[in-house]
């Protein structure tokens, strides 16, 4: 049972480039979410989804795009990367009782 899998683990981008962070879960959870974590700070919610075809914005959605075509996958797209998006990104899925299960993170640097 893999849980939540994120790829890539590390990525370096140049300003203006686009990329997609992949997230997959095998627990059949309806709810999935993306957070970013910056040094010394907690996690900030970017986008979340309560099921296939349904997404909504979190605290810091600007510059990011999501879609949810299947229960398993919830990719996060950076449309035009900026240095302010340098961060560690975490994907999480949620059990019906409320607990989140996190991936190991994707470390993104934008030059």
Shortest gap between Cβ of 59 and other proteins (angstroms)? 7
Shortest gap between Cβ of 110 and other proteins (angstroms)? 20
Closest CA to 1 of 28, 26, 19, 31: 26
Spatial distance between the Cα atoms of 111 and 107, rounded to a whole number of angstroms: 13
Q: Which is nearer to other proteins, 13 or 46 (CB)?
A: 46
Q: Which residues bind other proteins (CB under 8 A)?
A: 4, 31, 33, 35, 40-45, 48, 50, 56, 58-59, 90, 92, 94, 97-105
Spatial distance between the Cα atoms of 74 and 23, rounded to a whole number of angstroms: 5
């Amino acid at each position: 049972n893999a849980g939540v899998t994120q790829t890539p683990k590390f990525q370096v981008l140049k300003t203006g480039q686009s990329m997609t962070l992949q997230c997959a879960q095998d627990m059949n959870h309806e709810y999935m979410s993306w957070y970013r974590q910056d040094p010394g700070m907690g996690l900030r919610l970017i986008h979340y989804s309560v099921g296939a075809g349904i997404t909504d914005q979190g605290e810091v959605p600007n510059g990011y795009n999501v879609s949810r075509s299947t229960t398993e996958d919830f990719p996060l797209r950076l449309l035009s990367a900026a240095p302010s998006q340098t961060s560690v990104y975490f994907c999480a899925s949620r059990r019906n009782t409320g607990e989140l299960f996190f991936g190991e993170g994707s470390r993104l640097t934008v030059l």
